[in-house]
Amino acid sequence: MAANADRAAREEVLARVESWRRRAPKLTDKVVTMAHGAGGKAGQALLEAVIRPAFSNPALDRLDDGAVLEAPPGRRLVLTTDSFVVTPRRFGGGSIGDLAVNGTVNDLAAMGAEPHALALSFVLEEGLAVAELRQIVADAAAAAARAGAPVVTGDTKVVERGAADGCYITSSGVGWVMPGLELGAERVRPGDAVLVSGTLGDHGTAVMVARGDLALASAVESDTAPLWDLAEALLTAVPETRWMRDPTRGGLASAGNELAAAAGVGIRLFERRLPVRPEVAAACELLGLDPLHIANEGKLAAVVPGDRADAAVAAMRSCATGADAAIVGEVTGEHPGLVVIETALGGTRIADMLVGDPLPRIC
């Protein structure tokens, strides 16, 4: 159902772009050239024919140097920013376009903030096909529409061939924190439960497959998706939630180690409870990787009071993006600063932070 909604949103964006193109300045170039970054007519044509129609809204259409946003009285603002340099630019389940939007929306969601507006900046390499750029922009616009966070400002630069691997995107977002909400590692206590909203390692594995590094019998798709609906459902049902994080680069293991160090507690994970797709587990086994180190782009990790864990899981599972939510561990006063896994065989092992870069250019 979510895939159908994404497809419908993308088709709506492409239709809007096509309608705008009929009255926008003519863009005859098939690829991006240095002229498109020089600030003249070529750049204006690219803006009007490709980028502006995809994100069109009253704030953006003014084409000012920034967007004026009204802040609700008494609400706290969250500002976040991130850059995306994934290779390849398109992979099973997504592209650099929707990844850039969802990544920033989910950073806001993990802070308990409802996404309000986004800014996107594109660094384009000379020679990038305009047709591919249209699709990337359409993916970003569809993701923004699904997240309910319009793109209200941005920038475009062009660099020489070989300097940008086609396209880099920097996205920034602002959101409003839910009233009365307090989240942070300092709130985590022994006895709390550790939850994840779904299967781990899908995104990193999808990128590996798209690169041709693996030939799997079954397709693996990225989990890239906006998570505010899921975060809102969790925080509404369990306002006592202590901490949240979207475990992207470095996976759940790195996020858990950061939490353990910041809170001065230990984290115990239960291997049997960790939701990992069989094809992801097989890919990791082939490459000698741990699914806990593989990036996710549509999953939320959370810590809640132990007696509220079942309610938290039920709230997550009420959302499509949380259908596979599970209680995967607990906070303990033992081994502070470490993440320990209780294995399926009854032993234990330490899950350290990711060392090195086994999956380059994943987000």
According to DSSP, the residues that pair with 90 across neighbouring strands are 95
Residue 360, preceding peptide bond in cis (omega within 30° of 0): no
Q: In terms of pLDDT, which residue wins out, 12 or 84?
A: 84
Is the residue at 91 inside a domain?
yes
Is the residue at 148 inside a domain?
yes
Asked if residue 209 and residue 156 are part of one domain, the reply reads: no
What per-residue confidence (pLDDT) applies to 3? 63
Asked if residue 316 and residue 242 are part of one domain, the reply reads: yes
Categorize the per-residue pLDDT at 27 as very low, low, confident or very high, splitting at 50, 70 and 90.
Answer: confident
Q: In terms of pLDDT, which residue wins out, 8 or 193?
A: 193
The residue with tokens 């970054």 is: 37
Q: Among residues 187, 174, 186, which one has the least CA distance to residue 75? A: 174
According to DSSP, the residues that pair with 31 across neighbouring strands are 129
Asked if residue 141 and residue 20 are part of one domain, the reply reads: yes
Per-residue pLDDT, averaged over 316-328, amounts to: 97
Per-residue pLDDT, averaged over 74-88, amounts to: 93
Per the prediction, the chain carries an average pLDDT of 91
Q: Can you tell me the distance from the alpha carbon of 312 to that of 327, in angstroms, rounded to the nearest whole number?
A: 9
Going by the DSSP 8-state scheme, the letter that residue 167 receives in this structure is E
Domain that holds residue 253: 185-350
The 10 Å Cβ neighbour count of residue 343 is: 13
Per-residue pLDDT, averaged over 169-174, amounts to: 98
Is the residue at 361 inside a domain?
no
CATH code at position 6: 3.30.1330.10
In this model, does residue 2 exceed pLDDT 80?
no
Categorize the per-residue pLDDT at 18 as very low, low, confident or very high, splitting at 50, 70 and 90.
Answer: low
Is the residue at 70 inside a domain?
no
Secondary structure of the chain: what % helix, strand, coil (to 5)?
40, 20, 40
Asked if residue 295 and residue 197 are part of one domain, the reply reads: yes
Sheet-wide strand order for 339-342 = 243-245, 301-304, 193-196, 326-332, 266-270, 339-342, 348-350
What per-residue confidence (pLDDT) applies to 80? 97
Asked if residue 14 and residue 145 are part of one domain, the reply reads: yes
Per-residue pLDDT, averaged over 25-39, amounts to: 86
Is the residue at 358 inside a domain?
no
Per-residue pLDDT, averaged over 87-104, amounts to: 95
Structure tokens at 171: 């996205």
What per-residue confidence (pLDDT) applies to 61? 86
Element (H, E) at 243: strand 243-245
Asked if residue 36 and residue 131 are part of one domain, the reply reads: yes
Asked if residue 225 and residue 156 are part of one domain, the reply reads: no
Cα 80 to chain centroid, rounded: 12
Asked if residue 17 and residue 146 are part of one domain, the reply reads: yes
- Note the pLDDT tens digit of each residue in 97-126: 999 999 999 999 999 999 999 999 999 999
Q: Among residues 124, 137, 119, 10, which one has the least CA distance to residue 69? A: 119
Is the residue at 355 inside a domain?
no
**243-273 as b/e: b if 16+ CB within 10 A:** bbbbbbbbbbbbbbbbbbeebebbbbbbbee
Domain end among 120, 153, 177: 177
What per-residue confidence (pLDDT) applies to 25? 62
Q: In terms of pLDDT, which residue wins out, 220 or 305?
A: 305
In this model, does residue 255 exceed pLDDT 80?
yes
What per-residue confidence (pLDDT) applies to 14? 67
Q: Can you tell me the distance from the alpha carbon of 325 to that of 315, in angstroms, rounded to the nearest whole number?
A: 9
Q: 130: helix, coil or strand?
A: helix
In this model, does residue 11 exceed pLDDT 80?
no
Per-residue pLDDT, averaged over 29-58, amounts to: 88
Domain end among 123, 158, 177: 177
Is the residue at 90 inside a domain?
yes
What per-residue confidence (pLDDT) applies to 213? 62
Angle CA 327–328–329, to nearest 5: 105
Asked if residue 102 and residue 207 are part of one domain, the reply reads: no
What per-residue confidence (pLDDT) applies to 360? 62
Give me the number of domains the chain comprises.
2
What per-residue confidence (pLDDT) applies to 214? 65
Q: 307: helix, coil or strand?
A: helix
In this model, does residue 21 exceed pLDDT 90?
no
Asked if residue 98 and residue 214 are part of one domain, the reply reads: no
Angle CA 359–360–362, to nearest 5: 80
- Helical residues (DSSP H) of the chain, grouped into ranges: 2-21, 41-46, 52-55, 58-61, 96-110, 130-147, 202-210, 228-237, 251-263, 278-287, 309-317
As a whole-number percent, the residues of the chain with pLDDT over 70 amount to 91
CATH code at position 318: 3.90.650.10
Asked if residue 202 and residue 327 are part of one domain, the reply reads: yes
Domain end among 137, 152, 177: 177
Asked if residue 336 and residue 195 are part of one domain, the reply reads: yes
- Note the pLDDT tens digit of each residue in 174-230: 999 999 999 999 999 999 999 999 999 999 999 988 887 666 666 789 999 999 999
In this model, does residue 356 exceed pLDDT 80?
no
Is the residue at 356 inside a domain?
no
